[in-house]
Structure 1
Amino acid sequence: MKVITMRFSLALLLLSAALSAYSDNGSVDIQLAASSAVTELQTDWAKAQYEADQKQQERDFNSLLNRINSSVSAEPGNPDLYVWRGIIKASYAGVKGGLGALSLVKEAKVDLEKAIDLDGGSFQAAARTSLGSLYFQVPSWPIGFGNDKKAEAYLLEGLAMAPDDIDSNYFYALFLLDQRRGDEARQYLERAYTAPKRLGRGYADQERQREILELITEQQKQK
Structure 2
Amino acid sequence: MRYCRLLGTALLVMALVAPGLAVADEEAVDALRERWETITTEVPESEQEQAYAELVDQATRWVDDNPEEADARLWRGISLASQARAKGGTGALGLAKEAREDLEKAVELDPDGGNGSAYVTLGALYHRVPGWPLGFGDSDTAEALFQSAREIRPDGVDVNYYYAVFLEDEGRDDDAREYARRAVEGDVRESRQASDEALRDKAWELAERLSNR
**TM-score normalised to the size of structure 1?**
0.79
Residues 155 and 178 (structure 1 numbering): CA distance in 2 closer, same or farther, change over 3 Å? same
Q: 1:72 aligns with which of 63, 69, 82?
A: 63
Q: What residue ranges of structure 1 are gaps of 5+ in the alignment? A: 1-27
Residues 31 and 215 (structure 1 numbering): CA distance in 2 closer, same or farther, change over 3 Å? farther
| Moved beyond 4 Å, runs of 4+ | 30-36
Aligned 8 A contact 2:116 2:152 in 1: yes
Report the CA distance between 1:197 and its aligned residue: 2.5
Residues 34 and 187 (structure 1 numbering): CA distance in 2 closer, same or farther, change over 3 Å? farther
Aligned 8 A contact 1:35 1:121 in 2: no
- Write the deviation string for residues 3-45 of structure 1: whole angstroms up to 9, x where unpaired: xxxxxxxxxxxxxxxxxxxxxxxxx9x9897455312211211
Distance 1:219 1:36 in 2: 41
Aligned 8 A contact 1:35 1:122 in 2: no
Report the more deviating stretch, 33-42 or 136-145.
33-42
Distance 1:135 1:99 in 2: 15
Residues 113 and 217 (structure 1 numbering): CA distance in 2 closer, same or farther, change over 3 Å? same
Q: How many residues align?
A: 194
Residues 122 and 32 (structure 1 numbering): CA distance in 2 closer, same or farther, change over 3 Å? farther
Aligned to 2:169: 178
Q: What residue ranges of structure 2 are gaps of 5+ in the alignment? A: 1-18
Aligned to 2:30: 39
Distance 2:54 2:41 in 1: 16
Q: 1:191 aligns with which of 177, 182, 186?
A: 182
Aligned to 2:104: 113
Distance 1:66 1:34 in 2: 17
Aligned to 1:88: 79
- The structure with higher relative contact order (CA 8 Å, sep 6+) is 1
Aligned 8 A contact 1:51 1:57 in 2: no
Q: 2:54 aligns with which of 51, 63, 74?
A: 63
Aligned to 1:129: 120
Q: Which has the larger share of helix?
A: 2
Q: Percent identity?
A: 38
Aligned 8 A contact 2:189 2:196 in 1: yes
Aligned to 2:156: 165
Distance 1:35 1:148 in 2: 35
Q: Does 1:201 align with 2:167?
A: no
3-state SS of paired residue (2:116): helix
Say what the alpha-carbon RMSD is for the aligned residues.
Answer: 2.2
Distance 1:139 1:133 in 2: 12
Distance 1:190 1:111 in 2: 31
Report the CA distance between 1:148 and its aligned residue: 0.6
- Write the deviation string for residues 112-151 of structure 1: whole angstroms up to 9, x where unpaired: 1111111257605111121111111110011100111111
**TM-score normalised to the size of structure 2?**
0.83
Aligned 8 A contact 1:79 1:120 in 2: no
Residues 31 and 157 (structure 1 numbering): CA distance in 2 closer, same or farther, change over 3 Å? farther
Distance 1:108 1:147 in 2: 16
Distance 2:193 2:179 in 1: 21
Q: What code does the residue aligned with 1:180 have? A: G
Rg: which structure is higher?
2
Aligned 8 A contact 2:68 2:109 in 1: yes
